[in-house]
Amino acid sequence: MSLSPRETAEKAARYRYFIMNFARVGGLALVLIGIVMTRSAPHLSLQWIFGAALAVIGLLEFFFLPAMIAKRWKALDRREK
């Protein structure tokens, strides 16, 4: 049984929504792991620096990765039409 164009679009939208939220949760997890690492390490040790880097990368992932993914998907959708 084949899907109608509307069902196909809805399925793609659900998949994309899941991927974007997974990217946000992943970024949040990196931030939390980075914070835990910085709180449990002496200031400016290698563990503290690595934890701070993870927290910054997590923040960037949380705020910018979903927008970048959506932009790429829109470009692909425009190219398909």
* 7 occurs within a structural domain: no
Task: Please give the residue range of the domain that contains residue 42.
Answer: 15-76
- State the total domains in the chain: 1
pLDDT of residue 1: 64
* 59 occurs within a structural domain: yes
The Cα 43–Cα 7 span in angstroms is 54
pTM of the full structure: 0.83
pLDDT of residue 5: 85
* 6 occurs within a structural domain: no
Residues 80/42, Cβ–Cβ less than 8 Å: no
The residue length of the chain stands at: 81
* 4 occurs within a structural domain: no
Per-residue pLDDT tens digits for 21-54:
999 999 999 999 999 999 988 888 999 999 999 9
21: Cβ contacts below 8 Å, ≥ 6 apart: none
* 8 occurs within a structural domain: no
